[in-house]
Chains A and B, each alone.
Chain A
Amino acid sequence: MSTLPWVCRNCLSRITRPTFRRLVRYQSTGTIVASRESIPSGLLARARQIAVEHKELTDKLANDFDPRAARKVGEYGPIVDALKAWDNANKSVAELTGLIHDPETDAELRELAADDLSATRESLVDASQSLTTSLVPVHPFAHLPCLIEIRPGVGGSEAAIFAGDLLRMYQAFCNRHGIRATLLKYENVNGTQEAGLPLSEAILEVGNEGAYGMFRCEAGVHRVQRVPATETKGRVHTSAVSVLVLPSIGENSLGEEDINDPESDYYIDPKEVKLEVMRARGAGGQHVNTTESAVRLTHTPTNTVVSMQDFRSQPKNKEKAWQLLRSRVAQLRREKREEELTALRRSVVGVAKTGRGDKVRTYNWGQQRVTDHRSGTTVHDLDDVMGGGQTLEKVMDSVRTWLMEQDVQALIAEQTTEKK
């Protein structure tokens, strides 16, 4: 299952019927003929294959215990259950349809069967959905807290002002939802922490479990169109702010094994990291009483550089720098994998890419609207969006659903190409 795309469980619960229907309509225009009740043949084949594997593994486990096999059995369990439910529902529908069409069936029984059929059809729709979603693997980091990094892009001081607006938007959003969000790094252009000033960099740590799954959809370039406060001729400017969302691996969010397991994205060989500390100039020791405590880490294989100097304590700067370095390197590794995947998907379905360089959303003051370019959703209550209110949640929801659809489509496409 290694080439399958990732999606978070949170999003799965959000496939509402209308969107699912849209998805199915898309599929039916392609080579895969599908209805609300059926499963694309590629996916179904995959599910059957998994069921066979599951049975073999269970048999094997009966004789001797193998932790890896046990884990697989655990992973496959929900798929096998969903397949069973789908098979059952399918069989009932077939039986009922058979009854109805059988000339031998008397009128009373036919009526009863017809009654039953609509309920059974509903449960088949449910079963189809659960089977499809059970096959889409959960994003491995969806359960983690996350870091939201906000930096102004093109557009000078107006971009920096909008960066501050976005930060407050996310803070308000978290506040409203009772989510713990702490500023890990905050620098306005004054190098101070006062609010209301143009921002040069902020890192917001969202501590809740599942935060990465929730905010993953916010990564990308956010564009603002408005007349800047500094503009005298009343011209509308377009500026951009980049938002990076990384799973955060604080002390508690990742187990020891993730940090120490060379297979994990978060594993960093300390030998591949160059640690530099800000040195006192000149003679050092008793000659100088500098307050500089900056720490810089360089991960040589990826040339990732992280420096931290916000704290007076050097060990604290070092700890935070390691945390950032782990997150960034893990992100690079994932991006590289995802890029390979995207290339594959593009050749198949032409899925839009969602990397850090892409414009994902526009905030237009003149029209008081916000448009997300991925989900195609436009909302008009700009103030509520900027205040982190329900309208923002609506937009984020639409993107998560979109992400999920992309993943399901890609999954179907992959299964089809695999079969060819």
Chain B
Amino acid sequence: MPRLSTSLLRNAKAIDPLLPSLLRPCRTLQAAQNELRWLREHVLGDHRTRNHTAAHQASILRRLVRDRASGKPLQYILGTEFFGDLEIACRPGVLIPRQETAASITHLTHLLLTCGALPRSLRVLDLCTGTGCIPLLFRHELLSARNDTRLQLLGIDISPSALALAKHNAQRLTNDTPHISIEFLRSNILSTAPPDSLAHTLTTHSQPTTWEILISNPPYISPSAFWKSTTRSVRGFEPKLALVPPALKPGIGDTEQGDVFYSRLLAVAEEVGARVVLVEVADLEQAGRVARIVKKKNVWDGVEIWRDWPDGHEEEQGGGDEERLGCKILGSGNGRSVVFWREEGRAWLGK
């Protein structure tokens, strides 16, 4: 990481003595100023600190700025992150939802809502659900456009703290809607045998065994990328369980370990009879590898890669990526998800 210039630090200090330390995690003055404002609003507005004396509030603010300067994510300090239109509660120990994930989900629901062929009843399975942000946003987007679709949503995670938070979020963000249900269950996606396996979890909780839509943002960072390309704030404060897949066998290669979840996710997609599948990936290369396995299966009718902003102008083509990966690539930004479908799924996506 490049060093911050002394003139930038001096400017920041002239504006507010608290700013220079925020420049470390934020890098730009504008971002640091925004964060300082949000932190200040938090201290002045939060019910726990609202009625403190100004001096007490100032000392709390100084402490929060110190926490932030040490790399603690702002979302853990403020307790929430925006995901599409939703403000999702966040806690240390559970991965913070990312804007790019929200962009993929919004685009997916947009396609489903505009296809004109969506069935009256839809089941959506989200594997590795974390805060529960994906099924909650899916529900929100669908509900704000139409009220006549029966929706059954299920989020799966291995981490009890993630499940507790997901349930908390569901309670905060949903009201009783008779034709929509949302639940969260614990299971280990990588396990194929009872009592941990997904199939077992579904049957013991009398859940359906078929799901039309499967979504997952699984851990996808390889051990070497974890050291090389994650920021200090991610590495030091977010749960590694959510980021790096386990080494399933001794001597597993670095890239292979990063890809561990995808072969399991593909198997589950077939087991539950999914018609549309969206899985998030780390970059274009991983997307290409996943797309290749999808094609080899010979059960899917189509596959494409979406970038960070799938509905954006397609500005970053050119490099011959489509030919090289043998797959259509949509939008702008980094390679972010692989989307595939079969049978009715094609019409639902308007493909």
Contacts and interface: CB of A to CB of B under 8 A. Distances in A.
A279 B308 contact: yes
B73 A289 contact: yes
B229 A287 contact: yes
A contact face: mostly helix, strand, loop, or mixed: loop
Nearest to B101: A285
Nearest to B15: A190
Given A283-B229, A287-B225, A190 B282 contact: no
Contact of A293 (B73, B99, B238): B99
Given A284-B334, A313-B85, A289 B38 contact: no
B233 A309 contact: no
A291 interface: yes
B212 interface: no
Interface stretch (B29-37, B174-182, B197-205, B271-279): B29-37
B283 A283 contact: yes
Contact of A289 (B16, B75, B82, B312): B75
Interface in A299-325: 309-310, 312-316
Given A283-B229, A287-B221, A192 B238 contact: no
B29 to A, nearest CB: 8
Interface string B199-223: 0000000000000000001011100
A279 B220 CA distance: 20
Interface residues on A, range: 20 to 34
A310 B220 CA distance: 32
B231 A288 contact: yes
B98 A289 contact: yes
A286 B243 contact: yes
Contacts of B96: 289
Q: Is chain B's interface secondary structure helix, strand, loop, or mixed overall? A: mixed
Given A286-B220, A289-B98, A315-B85, A279 B333 contact: yes
Interface in A181-226: 189-193
B37 A191 contact: yes
Contact of B36 (A191, A283, A286, A309): A191
Contact of B38 (A287, A288, A312): A312
Contact of B16 (A190, A280, A291, A292): A190
Contacts of B309: 277
Contacts of B313: 274
A281 B31 CA distance: 13
Interface residues of B, number: 55
A4 interface: no
Contact of B308 (A191, A284, A314): A284
Between B95, B98, B99, B242, the greatest number of chain A beta carbons within 10 A of the residue's beta carbon is seen for B99
Nearest to A311: B82
Contacts of B333: 279, 284
A285 B336 contact: yes
Interface in B24-44: 26-27, 29-31, 33-38, 40-41
B230 A192 contact: no
Interface string B223-250: 0010001110110001000110000000
A192 B40 contact: yes
A275 interface: yes
B230 A315 contact: no
A377 B34 CA distance: 42
A285 B334 contact: yes
Contacts of B225: 283, 287
Contacts of B34: 191, 291-292, 309-310
B16 A192 contact: yes
B43 to A, nearest CB: 12
Nearest to A288: B231
Nearest to B106: A315
B100 interface: yes
15 contacts: A191-B36, A192-B36, A280-B98, A284-B98, A285-B100, A285-B283, A285-B336, A286-B242, A287-B234, A288-B234, A290-B31, A290-B99, A291-B74, A309-B30, A313-B87
Given A282-B229, A283-B230, A287-B221, 8 more contacts: A191-B33, A191-B37, A284-B308, A286-B95, A290-B31, A293-B99, A313-B82, A315-B85
Interface of B: 15-16, 19, 26-27, 29-31, 33-38, 40-41, 73-75, 81-82, 84-85, 87, 95-96, 98-102, 217, 219-221, 225, 229-231, 233-234, 238, 242-243, 280-283, 308-309, 312-313, 333-334, 336
For the complex of A and B, the 7 pairs showing the least CB-CB separation, nearest first, are: A191-B33, A313-B82, A283-B229, A287-B230, A291-B74, A190-B15, A287-B229
Interface of A: 189-193, 274-275, 277, 279-294, 309-310, 312-316
